[in-house]
Amino acid sequence: MTERLYYSDPYRRQFEATLIESFSWDGQPAVVLSRSAFYPTGGGQPHDTGWLGGVPVLDVVEREADKAVIHVLEAALPGQKEVSGEVDWLRRFDHMQQHTGQHVLSQAAERLLGAETVGFHLGETASTIDLNRAPLSAEQLDRLETEANQVVFENRPVVARFVSREALASLPLRKPPQVSGPIRIVEIQGFDWSPCGGTHVRATGEVGSIKIVRAERRGDETRVEFLCGSRALADYRTKNRLLLRLASHLSVGYWELDEAVERLEGEAREQRKAAQAAQEQFLDLEADSIASQGEPLDGFSLVSRAFQDRSLDEVKRLALRLAEQHRCVALLGLASDKGHLVFAAPQDSAYDLRPILRQACAVIGGGGGGRPHLAQGGGPVGELARVQQALEVARQIFGQP
């Protein structure tokens, strides 16, 4: 079994140890040492990284069988017996801040909300606890955050010690221990007692701050995402910059962003309405103009036109206008990424446009269907000349040259 130096001194970054085993772990060189300051993944806390004899440590895991700490390395160690190790301190201290913050937050949730922590995850960028209470209001979460930070400000000592099973009974543990033998208890003085094998800061002040960034209801539980210490600061920096940038774009103070965005949304709505009205007017005029050039056809009027660079929806609306308001048989085409045809005839006419449309669509390599008075189709060929050709085919069916 590896002597775990972080149990007694989580601030120890450098150490000397004797090489016990050297082997391959998932295809990577790995070693077990007589002692180690490296924390192996477990208890919701990710492993440390760092260096052994200058070689990067990629992963640290606990071996199930004998609880040995396995250091997975980037390259094999040269054959020496004594090894010096160094833990990547920035990563470790970040984990200590998040983990201690979690103890504080969990105890505060229990005291304030009667909510037990049933899950904990310390992630690469954010951490979460799952509370067995839902839903939690914004006001409850604010109070939880305030209470937790009060404990940070009080700078209470955090002490870890091994306690016998018998002595456990006298401690107000937040959760029952999950391992046998002597239990490591992490005490936040006068506030929280938890069985835990992780690494923690020596006083709550070093957590810096605890920020709840999000809460999400999951059935009977609430998942609370939080950031501590440097992570909270980095998050504040990012969001503050973003707010100031947005405010500067909109030429308002950041506290006026809500109103400014609402105003923009209103303006955009008005503009959409105005654009729509203008488009309707334009389509009316366009329909007038096209209809005036129609050729007589059994009491109706035949028009055909191919377009480019506009939406299929617009072409369809134009075809309907021509049929309903101008009593036209309208053969319209659209050349874009593909070829499209839209044929429309007045409702009271006897035309069935579908077979005509199918013949025309064959020119652009496709097909179509619809109703007798409104048929639509297309094909993969999108060149304007071919779409015009397809319309010609339809015109000829109507007996037009």
- Stretch 40-99 residues interacting with Zn ion (CB under 5 A): 99
Write down the residue that tokens 């609880």 correspond to.
67
Bond into 135 cis (ω within 30) = yes
- Judged by CB under 5 A, the stretch of 197-205, 304-312, 338-346, 349-357 that binds Zn ion is 197-205
Write down the residue that tokens 């200058």 correspond to.
54
Complex with Zn ion: residue 106 or 304, whichever CB lies closer: 106
Does position 196 interact with Zn ion (CB under 5 A)? The reply is yes
Nearest distance in Å: CB 185, Zn ion:
10
Tally of CA atoms within 13 A in the half-sphere of 207 that contains its CB: 30
Complex with Zn ion: residue 39 or 307, whichever CB lies closer: 39
32: left (phi over 0), alpha (psi -120 to 50) or beta: beta
Complex with Zn ion: residue 2 or 100, whichever CB lies closer: 100
Complex with Zn ion: residue 198 or 229, whichever CB lies closer: 198
Nearest distance in Å: CB 85, Zn ion:
22
Number of chain positions touching Zn ion (CB under 5 A):
3
Which residues are registered as beta bridge partners of 301?
296, 328
* Tokens coding 295: 């050729």
Nearest distance in Å: CB 10, Zn ion:
10
Nearest distance in Å: CB 137, Zn ion:
28
Complex with Zn ion: residue 106 or 149, whichever CB lies closer: 106
- Stretch 232-291 residues interacting with Zn ion (CB under 5 A): none
CA 316 to chain centre: 38
Q: Which position's Cβ is nearest Zn ion? A: 196
Q: Out of 198, 294, 333, 366, point to the residue binding Zn ion (CB under 5 A).
A: 198
Does position 333 interact with Zn ion (CB under 5 A)? The reply is no
Amino acid at 128: T
Q: Residue 210 in contact with residue 232, Cβ under 8 Å?
A: yes
Contacts of 232 (CB under 8 A, 6+ apart): 208, 209, 210, 211
Which of 194, 108, 190 minimizes the C-alpha distance to 156? 190
Which of 360, 113, 109 minimizes the C-alpha distance to 210? 109
Q: Which stretches of 293-383 are DSSP H helices?
A: 312-326, 354-363
Complex with Zn ion: residue 193 or 351, whichever CB lies closer: 193
Nearest distance in Å: CB 73, Zn ion:
27
Q: Residue 387 in contact with residue 335, Cβ under 8 Å?
A: yes
Strands 328-335 and 300-308: parallel
- Judged by CB under 5 A, the stretch of 62-70, 195-203, 314-322, 334-342 that binds Zn ion is 195-203
Which of 77, 90, 95, 79 minimizes the C-alpha distance to 39? 95
Nearest distance in Å: CB 200, Zn ion:
6
- What is the pattern of x (binds Zn ion, CB under 5 A) and - over residues 94-113? -----x--------------
Complex with Zn ion: residue 99 or 340, whichever CB lies closer: 99
- Judged by CB under 5 A, the stretch of 172-180, 194-202, 358-366, 378-386 that binds Zn ion is 194-202
Nearest distance in Å: CB 205, Zn ion:
17
Complex with Zn ion: residue 30 or 186, whichever CB lies closer: 186
Binding site for Zn ion (CB under 5 A): 99, 196, 198
